[in-house]
Amino acid sequence: MSTAASQRTTQKTSWLPMVCLFLAQVLMSFNVAALPISLGGMVEDFGVPPTVASSTIVVYGLSVAALVMTGAKLGQRIGWVLIFRVVVVLFAGSALLMIFAPTVEWAIAGQATAGAAAAIIVPSLVALIAENYRGAQQATAIGALGSARAISGVSAFLIGGTLGTLVGWRPIFYVVLAFAVAVFLLSFTLRSDRGNASIKIDLVAALLIGAGIVMLTLGFNNLNGWGAVAATEAAPFSVFGLSPAPVLIVLGIVCGQFFFLWTRRRMADGRVPLIDLSVVDSPRERAAVYAMFIVVALEACVNFSIPLYIQIVQGRTPFDTSLAMMPFNLTVFITATLVVRFYKRYPPRTIGVFGFILTTVALIWLSIVVNNNWETFPTILGLFVFGVGQGALVTLVFNVLVTAAPAALAGDVGSLRGTTQNLAGAVGTAVAGALLVSLLGLGVGRAVMEHPELPPSLVAQVNMDNINFVSNDELRSVLEDTDATPDQVEAAVTLNEEARLGTLRLGLLILAGVSALAILPASRLPRYRPDEIPDPAPVAAAE
C-alpha cells in the first residue's frame, strides 16, 4: 500500500458530512415508517380500503427498486453531491404532495416521487461514505446507516403516532419536509465531485431491470384482487382465463434473467454495465443478498400486518400503534448500533445464523401468544426478540457487501442494496396483504359455518364472503342497515375479532417458516473476522 493510501486510510475526517448522510437515511426511513401509521387516517380520509391505501407503501418501494441502478449511474455521471441536492429537493416536493393530497391517487403519486428521489439517494449514501471516509471511520459510518434506519422507525412511530392521534396523518409529513430541508442545507458540507461525463448508461439493462421489478411488484401486489390462479372479476384482463398477477410475476423473473445475461455479455465485451456484477461474484456475497431480501421482507410484513390489525380491526389510535410497535423498533435501533461490537468476536456466518434463529423463534412465539392486548409481557417479549434478530441482520448483511467490494464499486453496492431492500419491502408488504386477506376469507367462511345464529340471508346482506379488514364499529354500522337482531350483531362482531386474530396468528406462523428457510443462505455468509477483511482503500487511492 502506498504512503498516500495509508495516510488516506488512517486520516481522521470531520463527522459533519456524516451527519448529513445520517439524516438523509433518516429522511427516507422516516417516510417509509410513517406510511403504516398513516394507513388508518388515509382509509378514513380518502374512503378507500386499507389494501388500496397500502399501495402508497408498495409504489414507493417499487420506484426505488426499479430506478436505483439507473440512479447510481446518473450519480457517477453527473456527480454525487450535485445530484444528491437535486433529489433531496424532489423528496421535499413529495412530502408536499402527501400533505395536500385531495385523493389517494395524489398520495400514491407523492410516494412514487419520493421513491424516484430515493433511487438516487440510496446509492449516493454509500458512494459519499466511500469518498469521505476510510478505515475504521468508514466501518462506523456504514453501521450508522443501519442505526439511522432503525431510529427512524422509533421516531416515526412516536412522533407519527402522537400527531396521527392528536392532529391527523398529514402533519406527519411536515416532519419529512423538515428533514429534507435540513439535509439540503447540510449537503454543502459534503466533499464536492465533478462526476464523469464519459460514463454511459446502459438503457437496455435499465429497461429490463425496471420492467422486471415493476411486473414482479404489480404481480405480487395484486395476487389477492386479481386472483392467485384464475382471473377474478376485478382483474383488468385475463390470459386464457388465468389471472394476470402470476403471469406478471413470471414475466418479471424472465426480464430479470435477461438483465443478468445482457449485463454479463456487456462486461465480457469490456463495456460499462448498469451494475458491476463482480459485487456478487462469490457465493458468500450472493448469500448476503438473499439474506438481505428475506430479512427486509420479513420486517415489511410485520410492519404492515400489526399496524393494520391494531388500527383497522381494533379501531385503536396511531399512538396506540406506536406503543405496540415500540419494543420492536427500539430494539432494532439499539441492536443495529451495538452489533458492530460483536464483529471482533464472531464471524458474519455465526451472527447471521443466530439472527435468523432469533427471528424464527420470535415469530413462532408471537403466533402463539398474540391477542387483542398488545401490552402483555409475552407479546412485548416476542417483539423484542424479533427486533434483536432483525437489527443484527440488517446491519450485518450490508456490512458484508460493502467490505467485500472495492471502494470504486461503492455506488454499485449502494444500488444493489437499494434494489434488494426496496423490492423486498414492496414484495413483503404486497404478499402480507394478499396472504392476510386470503387467509381471512378462509377464516370468515369457516367461522360463518360455525355460527348458526348467523343465517345465510344475513350473510348475503353484508357480503361477508368478500369482506376486507374492517373495524368492529364499521361492521356494527353495516349491520344497522340489515334485519340483524342485537344478538346477531354481537355474534358477527365476535366472528370479526376471532377470524382476524386467527388470520394474524397464522400469518405470523407462515412468516416463521420463511425465516427458518433463510438460515440456509445465512450459513453461507463469510467466516472471516474483521482483521481478515482486505482493505479496499488502495483501489480507490489508485484511481
**What DSSP line would sit under 327-393, residue for residue?**
HHHHHHHHHHHHGGGGGGTS-HHHHHHHHHHHHHHHHHHHHHH--S-TTSHHHHHHHHHHHHHHHHH
SS percent in the chain: helix, strand, coil, step 5: 80, 0, 20
Nearest-angstrom CA–CA distance, 434 and 233: 16
CA 454 to chain centre: 40
Supply the pLDDT for residue 463.
52
Evaluate whether 289 touches 420 at the Cβ level (below 8 Å): yes
54-101 pLDDT, tens digit per residue, is 788 878 877 887 888 888 888 888 888 889 999 999 999 999 999 999
- Residues 5-42, buried b or exposed e (16+ Cβ, 10 A)? bbebbeeeeeeebbebbbbbbbbbbbbbbbbbbbbbbb
Place of cell 466533499: 191
Nearest-angstrom CA–CA distance, 98 and 292: 29
Kindly give, in sequence order, each residue whose CB lies less than 8 Å from that of residue 307, ignoring residues fewer than 6 positions away. 36, 37, 39, 321, 325
Nearest-angstrom CA–CA distance, 53 and 98: 12
454: pLDDT confidence band, cut at 50, 70 and 90? low
Kindly give, in sequence order, each residue whose CB lies less than 8 Å from that of residue 500, ignoring residues fewer than 6 positions away. 309, 313, 440, 443, 469
535: pLDDT confidence band, cut at 50, 70 and 90? very low
Of the candidate ranges 77-81, 101-105, 213-217, 456-460, the one whose mean pLDDT is the lowest: 456-460
Exposed / middle / buried, residue 290 (Cβ in 10 Å: 0-12, 13-18, 19+): middle
Element (H, E) at 62: helix 55-78
Nearest-angstrom CA–CA distance, 376 and 382: 10
Place of cell 432494532: 332
Write down the pTM of the prediction: 0.72
Of the candidate ranges 121-130, 176-185, 248-257, 424-433, the one whose mean pLDDT is the lowest: 424-433
Q: What mean pLDDT value characterizes the chain?
A: 78
The identity of residue 367, as a single letter, is: S
Nearest-angstrom CA–CA distance, 215 and 377: 42
* Torsions phi, psi for 334 (to 5 deg): -65, -45
Evaluate whether 119 touches 419 at the Cβ level (below 8 Å): no
Place of cell 425496471: 210
Evaluate whether 433 touches 61 at the Cβ level (below 8 Å): no
Element (H, E) at 257: helix 244-268
Supply the pLDDT for residue 361.
94
Which 8-state DSSP code applies to residue 239?
A: B
Kindly give, in sequence order, each residue whose CB lies less than 8 Å from that of residue 62, ignoring residues fewer than 6 positions away. 112, 115, 213, 214, 217, 218, 422, 423, 426
Nearest-angstrom CA–CA distance, 153 and 268: 42
